[in-house]
Amino acid sequence: MMQPLGPRKVLGKPVPRPARTAGVQTYVPEIARGVGIVVKHFLRNTKEWSLGQSPEPVLESINEGINTISYPEQRRPYPERFRGVHRLTQREDGSPRCVACMCCSTACPAQCIHIDAGEYPAGDPRHGHEKYPVRFVIDELRCIFCGYCVEACPCDAIRMDTGLHASPYDSREQFLFEKQTLLGFPGRDGAQDSSNQKADPGDPTHPGIDRAHHGHDD
């Protein structure tokens, strides 16, 4: 049987315990010093904030003072290609430029776009060759903001150039953006139309191709 190990010799020299006074033991001086630092920064930051002397939180973030961005009153400048909340672009008459071709919903990897297509009534210039979305819904909770829908749209009818975040709603139904909600969002420049407009039938730049003529002269 193995014999139990006895006491072993400790190598090295012992480190003496440092002397601690009553003030160090109670932490009172350090607490007072910490409170003094907090009060000093509080008074200085309050003075700079009230007088408008605080550093700009984005461009002067390394300067002393309040560098916190007070969102949503203050926001970082987003790049031009920032993908914000979706919007549907409009024609001059206020109708959506969407032709319900399903390209955006097909390209969407999250399957968050739902479209119900409809035909324009007889007598409308777009009857017979173009459809419109009776219902257009985007589930902003499922969206991954990849931008595939914008790239797939042949009419530049859907864009993500609003520069807005989805609002923090308290129910799932509020994150289902319907057609009228999407039509109400403007772009960053405040415009509702598209920057790459498709020529509609009747426009001087329209090639004249429709279901009846197919671009051939009679």
Q: What is the CATH number of domain 87-184?
A: 3.30.70.3270
Question: Among residues 96, 85, 90, which one has the least CA distance to residue 145?
Answer: 85
Domain boundaries along the sequence of the chain? 24-77, 87-184
CB within 8 Å of 193: residues ≥ 6 apart: 89, 90, 91, 92
Pairwise pLDDT comparison (192 vs 177), residue with the higher score: 177
Q: Can you read off the two tokens belonging to residue 113? A: 């776009």
Q: Can you read off the two tokens belonging to residue 66? A: 């309040």
**Predicted local confidence at residue 158, as pLDDT:** 94
Cα 169 to the center of its chain, rounded Å: 14
Question: Among residues 138, 133, 130, 143, which one has the least CA distance to residue 177?
Answer: 138
Question: Among residues 109, 176, 97, which one has the least CA distance to residue 138?
Answer: 176
Q: Quick one: pLDDT band at residue 218, thresholds 50, 70, 90?
A: very low
Residue with tokens 């919903």: 105
**DSSP β-bridge partners for residue 116:** 135
Q: 70-113, pLDDT tens digit by residue?
A: 777 777 778 888 899 999 999 888 888 999 999 999 999 999 99
Question: Among residues 162, 153, 163, 171, which one has the least CA distance to residue 113?
Answer: 153
Q: 51-63, pLDDT tens digit by residue?
A: 878 777 777 767 7
For the stretch 93-130, what's the b/e string if a residue is b when 16 or more beta carbons lie within 10 angstroms of its beta carbon?
A: eeebbbbbbebbbebbeeebbebeeeeeeeeeebeeeb
